[in-house]
Amino acid sequence: MKISTITNWAYAVTVALTALSGASFIMSSRNAVEERVAVEEHLTLDVLAEELALGAEVRSDEARLYVMRGEERHLQAFHAKEEAERQREASAARLVSYGLPPAETQALDDIARDAEELDKIEASAIQAFQGGDKAHAQEILFGAEHERLQSALLQTVSHFRDLTAARTGSQLAAARASSDWWSLIAKIMLGMTGALFLAVLYFILRRRVTMPLTRMTGIVGRLAKQDYTVEILPDLRRDEIGEMNEAIEIFRANGIEKERLDAERQADQRTKDLILEMMHRLQACHNQGELAGVVARLAPEIFPDLSGGLYILNESRTTLIGAALWQQPKHAGDSLPASSCWGLRRGRPHISGVHDTDVPCQHLDGAKVSALCVPLTAQGEMIGLLYLEKNAEGTIELTNSRLYLELIAENVGLAIANLQLREKLTEFAIRDPLTGLFNRRHLEETLQTRLADHPKEPLACLMIDIDHFKRFNDQFGHDAGDMVMRHVGQILRESVGEAGSAYRFGGEEFTVLLPDYDEQGGAEYAEAIRRKVNSTTLSYAGQMIGTVSVSIGVAASSEGGSGETIVSRADAALLTAKAEGRNRVVVTAR
């Protein structure tokens, strides 16, 4: 019940109790008046009866004294008493007219009759005394009849007093009892009013208002400081305090929800900032290795609950080669068959293991794991795959992060495509398109860098020329000559390997740089190349071309020498080899 309702009821009950208490006091006062009236009536009747009895005696005494002494003053007193008695009898008659009970009225009538008879005897005695018959007068006043009448009068007066005393006493007792009863009711009403007031003060003001408000003050204070960990005790009361408590609980729930939304917004903003940071880093990468390192470093920060890997399609587009792995994914290897991924097959993101509603990728080997495969595409061409799986202790859901993951995959795909395009352009810029070897421009840059960075370390330079190359073009055509050039270039790539680098210097001339080789080591390497070239017989379009031979000049770097110097010396040695009959290796003289 609401406090306002309780207060209204308490007010109404208090007013009713106060009214009843007032009415009880009024009734008690009325009974007190009745009690006073009964007492006054008793006193009045008692005094009247006493005066009637006493007056009769005094009048008789005056009459007796008059007949005994003959003094006139006793006669006057007798008449005066008689007149007073007449007045008292008139008062008694008036009381009878006010409605005395019949018994009391009869008693008053008896008193009046006895007094009248007594008056007659005494009057006759006075008349006899005045007639000179003193003895007869004394006999009348002191005779048996006079004594009888006087005794009867006194008895009647006594009986009247008893009747009035009994009646007025009964009225007095009834009025007193009624007054006490109404007074008790008034006191009870006042007690109930006081108890109700105290109950309102304690149960309503203190327990239902003051104490809850005091508790709520602390709670509201903590909520105002955004301390939403404060505990709000459940309050099932359906009053204003209960509504306030419910409102505070709603406010706390809204605050907690706001904190959660703020935390999600901050986390979302941090994710966006990290993704933007990753995009900036991806755009600054010079090669795919750097790109893979950036992805492997920032992906765990963006999605700490996800592990995964970055895969790039090989040139034959049959295998996904792992470029980077992070947070040790359990179901990702160094390489994956391209056909084993449904995401790569469909050309769109594919989720495996979420509620088992979709076909899992084959590279998961049937493992029950939540995984997301996002294909990397650029300009409609498939480039690679971004693979992610949920960690066992992770709380993030792949479906919730899918949008950001696809955004990352899109930017990674574009960055890889740009790097691959840049690498192709770089290859076109530094490689000879016919033989696949580095070109002369790259040779000059390599020599300049090498000699500047390692001036004191040995470097051997081989200048190679195909013997009688014009014969192949003239006799078999330029296509055959191109085939010979590619053949020699292939042998140089295979022979040099990681020991150095091979270049097409121009025309049918080639250059090989061998770091950490001196003239003697360079000459031995050159001899091996010459023999390998000369050991193969070539044919083109069904015609035997024969064997191909090369002449090689060898030079080694000297301290303080430039790139042009070592190439010039190696070229001079080549000219010497050609002059001496070709198909040989000549080391330049210092």
Maximum mean pLDDT: which of 203-217, 319-333, 549-563:
319-333
Instruction: Give the pLDDT score at 220.
Output: 76
Please give the Cα distance from 546 to 565 (Å, whole number).
35
Q: Are 204 and 6 contacting, i.e. CB atoms less than 8 angstroms apart?
A: yes
**Spans of all domains in the chain:** 3-195, 285-425, 431-587
Determine the pLDDT at residue 156: 80
Residue 223's alpha-carbon distances to 232, 251, 255, 266, 366, in angstroms, are 11, 8, 8, 21, 51
| Token reading at 380 | 């409609």
List the single range of 315-324, 359-368, 510-519 with lowest mean pLDDT: 359-368
Q: Is the pLDDT of residue 525 over 80?
A: yes
Could you tell me which residues come within 8 angstroms of residue 65 by beta carbon, excluding any fewer than 6 positions away? 71, 74
What pLDDT does residue 541 have? 82
- Output the CA–CA distances (angstroms, integers) from residue 335 to 95, 363, 384, 533, in the order listed: 136, 10, 11, 37
Cα torsion angle, 86, 90, 95, 100, sign: positive
pLDDT at 410: 87
- Higher pLDDT: 379 or 482? It is 482
Judged against a pLDDT cut of 70, whether residue 473 lies above it is answered with yes
11 pLDDT above the threshold of 60: yes
CA neighbor of 418 nearest in space, from 320, 325, 290: 290
Average pLDDT for 327-345: 87
Residues contacting 314, CB < 8 A, separation 6+: 320, 321
Q: Which of 471, 488, 402 is nearest to 437 (CA)?
A: 488
In one-letter notation, the amino acid at residue 528 is A
Cβ neighbours around 567 below 10 Å, total = 21
Q: Which residues are catalytic?
A: 508
pLDDT at 559: 52
Reported confidence tier of residue 358, pLDDT bands at 50, 70, 90: confident
Q: Which residues lie across from 554 on neighbouring strands?
A: 462, 587
Structure confidence at residue 530 (pLDDT):
93
CA distance 53 to 157: 6
- Between 567 and 149, where is the model more confident? 567
Q: In 10 A of CB 107, how many CB atoms?
A: 23
Q: How far is CA 364 from CA 296, 337, 399, 547, in A?
A: 21, 12, 18, 53
| Residue 462 confidence (pLDDT) | 95
Mean local confidence (pLDDT), 566-581: 92
Among the ranges 70-74, 107-111, 268-272, which has the highest mean pLDDT value? 268-272
CATH superfamily for domain 431-587: Reverse transcriptase/Diguanylate cyclase domain (3.30.70.270)
For the domain bounded by 285-425, which CATH number is listed?
A: 3.30.450.40
Percentage of the chain lying above the pLDDT 70 cut: 85
Alpha-carbon span 75 to 108, nearest angstrom = 27
For the residues 203-214, what does the mean pLDDT come to? Answer: 68
Residue 295 to residue 484: CA distance in whole angstroms: 44
Better pLDDT: 542 or 437: 437
In the structure, what pLDDT confidence band is assigned to residue 253 with cuts at 50, 70 and 90? confident
Instruction: Decide if pLDDT at 395 tops 60.
Output: no
Please tell me which residue, 167 or 260, carries the higher pLDDT value. Answer: 260
Q: Is the per-residue pLDDT at 133 higher than 90?
A: no
**Which of 182-191, 240-249, 277-286 is the most confident on average?**
277-286
For residue 488, pLDDT over 70 is answered with: yes
Say if CB 271 and CB 243 are below 8 A apart: no
Average pLDDT, the chain: 81
Given a contact cutoff of 8 angstroms between Cβ atoms, the answer to whether 205 and 234 are in contact is no
Tell how many helices (H) and how many strands (E) occur in the chain: 15, 13
Rg, C-alpha atoms of the chain = 71
Is the model's pLDDT at 95 over the cut of 70? no
> pLDDT tens for residues 419-434?
888 877 877 778 888 9
Whether the per-residue pLDDT at 198 is higher than 90: the answer is no
* DSSP strand pairing (550-556 vs 585-587): parallel
User: Percent of the chain scored above 90 by pLDDT?
Assistant: 17
- Report residue 87 as tokens: 């007045």
Is there a contact between 186 and 24 (Cβ–Cβ < 8 Å)? Answer: yes
The pLDDT assigned to 93 comes to: 63
